[in-house]
């Protein structure tokens, strides 16, 4: 194999693939990226056996077809440190040569046949969604998952495809985020039931291959795996096993609660100020609504007190609820400052439900007295 590359675009594609390769593994072959050069195409492949990726590289001239397996760390350092615009990569059964205008590196060769296969996207029946939609669904739900939980199903984002709507749900048992977006069906897609729970790390990696927001991507979901295809490549992941919570039962549906319209920017600014005196032991912020105002307050024995007041459109009885300021901040951070949202609150013991007009909902459980 011999290819001529444009260093910068090749390095960008390589970094996407390299993010999948494990830093450590009993199978040392997995700490490499495989390069396949055929005709006028070059594909970079990486896998950790749970996740796999195939990245199509542009701006490559294939002088001779073939394959090479190159260590992630070494090739990354070479591409990063080089200042050459173009380089060549040439592989034989004995060695791999990487040359620039005034540089030459010779690495030990690995047998490409030993590198595991990564699934290609061959499905004829699949879902199609814009990259922007999937990117937004990921951003607004991924933070609420719990990769460290012993309840393994909480370590992923659940995807539900139904009636031209794609719903993403993330929860750690203390808060829950759900977001909806439009999706189209191509062909006849088999129902995977409730099994489409994508690992949190996989959702992060999928975001790396997404193109511009308006471009379409394809999603093929099967019983235990998910494939995503975009213009620059294909991503494969195994799905999380386990039972996901009945999330619809968690979202409050109530007519007798207080629904208060708030703006993200001022709310986030007030929350950050109130949290200045918070600590790991005292992370609860009191949200006190009274006529025309919201007061955010916190008291920490070893630090001090904070009290931040802001005007709000509320005319009911005084009402106080204590929430973990980190959970509220996570919700506000994924929204634009000028966006408005509804703060649905009934009393100090029931969950708060925050939601926007674009089908984004967020449930936060209040803190009890001994958690504050």
Task: Supply 148's token pair.
Answer: 């460290």
The per-type count for the chain, helices as H runs and strands as E runs, is 6, 26
- Decide if pLDDT at 151 tops 70: no
- Decide if pLDDT at 167 tops 80: yes
Q: What DSSP state is assigned to residue 248? A: G
- Decide if pLDDT at 144 tops 60: yes
Distance of CA 224 to the CA centre of its chain: 19
Q: CATH number of the domain at 254-371, please?
A: 3.10.150.10
Mean pLDDT of the chain: 93
**Band of pLDDT at residue 147, cut at 50, 70 and 90:** confident
What is the C-alpha separation between 43 and 27, in angstroms, rounded?
22
Q: What's the whole-model pTM score?
A: 0.91
Nearest CA to 75 out of 49, 53, 46 is that of 46
User: How is 208-226 classified by DSSP, letter by letter?
Assistant: HH---TTSEEEEEE-SSEE
- The full length of the chain comes to 372
- What integer pLDDT is reported at residue 269 of this predicted model? 98
End-to-end alpha carbon distance in the chain: 63
Where are the CATH 3.10.150.10 domain residues in the chain? 2-114, 126-248, 254-371
What is the C-alpha separation between 279 and 293, in angstroms, rounded?
25
- The fold of 126-248 is DNA Polymerase III; Chain A, domain 2 (3.10.150)
- What integer pLDDT is reported at residue 300 of this predicted model? 85
pLDDT digits (tens, 9 = 90+) for 46-104: 999 999 999 999 889 999 999 999 999 999 999 999 999 999 999 998 899 999 998 99
Q: What average pLDDT score do residues 125-142 get?
A: 97
CB 53 within 8 A of CB 234: yes
Q: CATH number of the domain at 2-114, please?
A: 3.10.150.10
Q: Cβ neighbours of residue 17 under 8 Å, at least 6 residues apart?
A: 33, 44, 45, 46, 53, 55
pLDDT digits (tens, 9 = 90+) for 245-264: 999 999 998 999 999 999 99
Residue 291 three-state SS:
coil
- Decide if pLDDT at 370 tops 90: no
- What integer pLDDT is reported at residue 95 of this predicted model? 93
What is the C-alpha separation between 252 and 363, in angstroms, rounded?
8
CB 23 within 8 A of CB 31: yes
**Band of pLDDT at residue 216, cut at 50, 70 and 90:** very high
- The values of phi and psi at residue 365, to 5°, are -80, 135
- What integer pLDDT is reported at residue 45 of this predicted model? 97
CB 146 within 8 A of CB 197: no
Q: What average pLDDT score do residues 134-152 get?
A: 88
pLDDT digits (tens, 9 = 90+) for 272-285: 999 999 987 788 99
């Amino acid at each position: 194999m011999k290819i001529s590359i444009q260093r910068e675009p090749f390095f960008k594609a390589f970094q996407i693939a390299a993010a999948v390769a494990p830093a450590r593994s009993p199978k040392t072959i997995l700490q490499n990226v495989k390069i396949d050069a055929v005709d006028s195409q070059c594909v970079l492949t990486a896998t950790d056996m749970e996740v796999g990726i195939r990245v199509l590289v542009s701006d490559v001239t294939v002088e001779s077809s073939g394959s090479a397996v190159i260590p992630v760390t070494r090739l990354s350092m070479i591409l990063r440190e080089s200042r050459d615009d173009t380089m060549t990569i040439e592989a034989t059964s004995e060695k791999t040569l990487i040359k620039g205008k005034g540089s030459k590196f010779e690495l030990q060769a690995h047998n490409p046949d030993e590198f595991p296969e990564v699934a290609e996207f061959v499905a004829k029946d699949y879902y199609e969604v814009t990259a922007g939609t999937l990117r937004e669904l990921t951003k607004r739900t991924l933070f609420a998952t719990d990769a460290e939980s012993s309840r393994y199903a909480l370590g992923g984002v659940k995807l539900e495809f139904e009636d031209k709507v794609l719903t993403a749900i993330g929860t750690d048992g203390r808060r829950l985020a759900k977001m909806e977006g439009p999706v189209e069906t191509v062909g006849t897609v088999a129902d995977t039931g409730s099994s489409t729970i994508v690992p949190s790390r996989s959702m992060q990696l999928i975001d790396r291959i997404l193109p511009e927001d308006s471009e379409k991507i394809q999603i093929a979901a099967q019983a235990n795996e998910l494939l995503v295809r975009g213009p620059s490549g294909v991503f494969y992941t195994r799905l999380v096993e386990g039972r996901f919570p009945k999330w619809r039962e968690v979202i409050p549906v109530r007519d007798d609660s207080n629904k208060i319209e708030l703006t993200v920017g001022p709310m986030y600014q007030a929350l950050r100020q109130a949290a200045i005196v918070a600590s790991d032991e005292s992370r609860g912020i009191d949200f006190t609504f009274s006529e025309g105002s919201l007061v955010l307050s916190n008291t920490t024995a070893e630090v001090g007190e904070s009290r931040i007041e802001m005007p709000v459109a509320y005319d009911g009885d005084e009402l106080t609820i204590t929430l973990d300021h980190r959970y509220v901040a996570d919700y506000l951070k994924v929204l634009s400052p000028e966006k408005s949202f509804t703060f649905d609150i009934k009393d100090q013991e029931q969950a708060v439900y925050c939601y926007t007009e674009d089908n984004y909902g967020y449930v936060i459980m209040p803190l009890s007295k001994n958690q504050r």
